[in-house]
Structure 1
Amino acid sequence: MSQTGDTRGTAPVLLRLSNVEVVYDKVFLAIKGVSLEIREGDMVALLGANGAGKSTTLKSVSGLLAPERGEVTRGHIEFAGRDLGTMPAPQRVHLGIAHVLEGRRVFGHLTPEENLIAAYRGRDQRRYLQLRDMVYGYFPRLVERAKSKAGYLSGGEQQMLAIGRALMTEPKLLMLDEPSLGLSPLFVKEIFGIIRTINEKERMSVLLVEQNAVAALNVVQHAYVVDQGRIVMEGSAALLRQNPDIQEFYLGGSHAVDYHNVKHYRRRKRWLA
């Protein structure tokens, strides 16, 4: 089901997933024919409930399925005109794909700057300093906590560091998996605002996976909704905010969802009828 009225430009397509299926342990079908595209400079959200297939979609792009015994069994993933196929994850990083995993996963025994050094792929000291200063410009809190071990930073500060570490790889596409998870509303607002600024100033494409649809739809231009491993709706953020199904099931509409009654919750979704 697609919404019309998308206001995105005509920039070249940076990432395209075409009918992608992912299977874990050669048995469990996690995503079922997912197709989406992100253009250069886009900021796009992938929305859905827990277990819908959002994180698996990101891992299929970054090449991180294998450690979890998953594989793409059907479809194609193209990035900057190249078929990613069985390309290993480090090579995808070199192409310009950065994936900030759910749960932040910073190196807790290192300082913020040591985390940034660990992520830098080059040998040019001047370029390293330029990238570090760019990260500190977006996240001045990291400068304030420069001498602290990353494990002692707050959840919001660790999320900032995780994003900053990804920026050190000079990505063309920044993929963020649940960046608002476990954070206070104040931190969520601050971090989402910074992500939007990075998208606009650096012309960096962003793919944002979120359960917090309210926060996500306030910063992205376009969104896809995934449910039970399938893309069930897409459109501009403005149109999705107005859609009654999105309002009811993701934006806390007048008929609140009883998440404890998942079967009824899924049955009531009109796109699954």
Structure 2
Amino acid sequence: MSLLTLNNIEVVYDSVFLAVKGISIEVPEGGLVALLGANGAGKSSVLKAISGLLRSERGAVSRGQATFRHENLLALDPPERVRRGLVHVLEGRRVFEHLSPAENLLAATTMHRDRTRVTRRLDEMLTLFPRLAERANAKAGYLSGGEQQMLAIARALMTEPKLILLDEPSLGLAPFLVDEIFDVIRRINAEQGVAVLLVEQNAVAALDLVQSAYLIEQGRVVMSGSAEALRANPDIQEAYLAGHNQVDYHAVKHYRRRKRWLA
């Protein structure tokens, strides 16, 4: 059963630059789906179209339909989308640096009137992320990059979402921290039934985590399928999996084998 469906979505900035060119994707209930591609491919614009955060960057959805739980998503403002169960963890973590981890988590609960429920949810997050419990009295700005990423994900989970949008959660993290973050994402999906739409350049880690994926280049979906099918594709192996993260993404961005992609 489909949780999120995008049909022929286009995103334009400043009413001039077309960043996303007719993308259609689907995230099933409880699904794990990745958007793969190089910098500038349009992946983050897709997430912002879903969460409603394009306006702050002078962007807009100029065409297409988006439904979330069979409701017209584009008719809802960003706070209402969160109340419906959709939450976005932006690239770069963006925690409140002057607040403690617990205060960061509580900042995401203004929609909840039941304070007992909030306290219970806070305890669940500190259990799920024991590093945050250990640093409970520290300012978030003094946490490590991995701890800040955990805090950003935990803060999103405080809203009790049905779907979490994750933008580059592995960015700037050491490999062992990437493994830890992805293990947490796997647990969130398996234990809480939260669907995940993941934007990620680390194709090796992403394809080990998700069930299906879409490859985006220059604002278009050029390949989609199960994680196993994409992992086995020779073009994907050459452009995105060669050397296991030793990929020159500048070269990938300029990769030109359109006929093979489309075939």
The normalised TM-score by structure 2 is 0.95
SS at match of 1:107: coil
Question: Does the CA contact (< 8 Å) of 1:247 and 1:253 recur in 2?
Answer: no
1:47 Cα deviation from its structure 2 partner: 0.4
Asked whether 1:138 is paired with 2:128, we answer: yes
SS at match of 1:41: coil
CA distance in structure 2 between the aligned counterparts of 1:247 and 1:48, rounded to whole angstroms: 13
CA distance in structure 2 between the aligned counterparts of 1:186 and 1:245, rounded to whole angstroms: 28
Count, aligned residues: 260
SS at match of 2:119: helix
CA distance in structure 2 between the aligned counterparts of 1:53 and 1:82, rounded to whole angstroms: 24
Counterpart amino acid of residue 70 in structure 1: G
CA offsets, 1:128-177, max 9 Å, x none?
A: 12111221121100000000000000000000000000000110001100
CA offsets, 1:87-115, max 9 Å, x none?
A: 21001000100100000000000000000
CA offsets, 1:184-215, max 9 Å, x none?
A: 00000001011001101111100000000001
SS at match of 1:181: coil
CA distance in structure 1 between the aligned counterparts of 2:51 and 2:83, rounded to whole angstroms: 11
Asked whether 1:150 is paired with 2:149, we answer: no
Detail structure 1 runs of 4+ shifted over 2 Å in the superposition. Answer: 256-263
Question: Does the CA contact (< 8 Å) of 2:240 and 2:252 recur in 1?
Answer: no
Pick from 113, 117, 121: which aligns with 1:123? 113
- In structure 1, what is the equivalent of residue 89 of structure 2? 100
Pick from 223, 230, 240: which aligns with 1:233? 223
Structure 2: 5+ residue stretches without partners: none
Pick from 186, 199, 203: which aligns with 1:196? 186
1:85 Cα deviation from its structure 2 partner: 2.0
Counterpart amino acid of residue 17 in structure 1: L
CA distance in structure 1 between the aligned counterparts of 2:126 and 2:247, rounded to whole angstroms: 40
1:253 Cα deviation from its structure 2 partner: 5.7
CA offsets, 1:6-61, max 9 Å, x none?
A: xxxxxx21000000000000000000000000110101111000000000000000
CA distance in structure 2 between the aligned counterparts of 1:258 and 1:58, rounded to whole angstroms: 24
Asked whether 1:178 is paired with 2:159, we answer: no
- In structure 2, what is the equivalent of residue 83 of structure 1? 72
- Provide the aligned C-alpha RMSD in A: 1.6
Asked whether 1:114 is paired with 2:103, we answer: yes
Question: Does the CA contact (< 8 Å) of 2:127 and 2:133 recur in 1?
Answer: no
SS at match of 2:38: coil
Asked whether 1:52 is paired with 2:41, we answer: yes
- In structure 2, what is the equivalent of residue 43 of structure 1? 32
Counterpart amino acid of residue 66 in structure 2: I
Counterpart amino acid of residue 181 in structure 1: L
